[in-house]
Amino acid sequence: MPNEALVVVDVQNDFCEGGALAVAGAHAVVPLVNRLIGRHDHVVLTQDWHPAGHASFASSWEGAEPFSSMRFPYGEQTLWPDHCVQGTPGADFHPELNVTKAQMIVRKGYHTGIDSYSAFRENDRMTRTGLDGYLKARGFTKLVFCGLALDYCVAWSAIDARQAGFDVAVVVEATAAIDLDDSRKRMMSDMRRAGINLNATA
């Protein structure tokens, strides 16, 4: 479809088994993601791209534990293990991911003091990546999402895309979830309420 783009979210080594912030089942979704890439003429990849010492890393705060929470100026922020640090193998795309068809790669999370789950807006909800402008300038009206992790970067991106006026579908079988404190169930509910199609298949 000429007005449809596939957005592949953060299929990077650190989010796959053996990585610094591994998502269970991540390796298994790569063939499904590749199948979706093969079926789409227009593909965008997103890439978590943190500087060393990023504020969202637990290691940046004395005594802080990974997966704990801290109050940031923009609200509650989960503190993560160091991951997807710029220029490291962990930040690279999964070696089996078909990146050849990507027409754009959007890097996010590179501002030291702000995390960025969404491919459209960082966690302060004000700093924009410019992706919505690019997609609208290209004439896309429908977006299909897949990748990692369902309950964080995929869901936040899909909801922001919906708020930006796009028709949005998420291929749930081509995602995997962190499921921190029941986050998978919560974000699935939030996506349904946003009017996102969760029944798309790979």
Which residues are annotated as catalytic? 10, 108, 153
The CB-based long-range contact list for 19-26 (8 Å cut-off, 24+ gap) reads 19/83, 19/90, 20/81, 20/82, 20/83, 20/84, 20/90, 21/80, 21/81, 21/83, 21/84, 21/178, 23/148, 23/149, 23/176, 23/177, 23/178, 24/176, 25/176, 26/94, 26/148, 26/176
**H or E element, residue 32:** helix 26-39
What sign results for the dihedral spanned by CA atoms 33, 34, 35, 39?
positive
Can you tell me whether residue 137 is helix, strand or coil? helix
Q: Closest Cα partner for 142 from 2, 38, 47, 11?
A: 2
> Which residue type does 52 have?
A
Tokens of 72: 């940031």
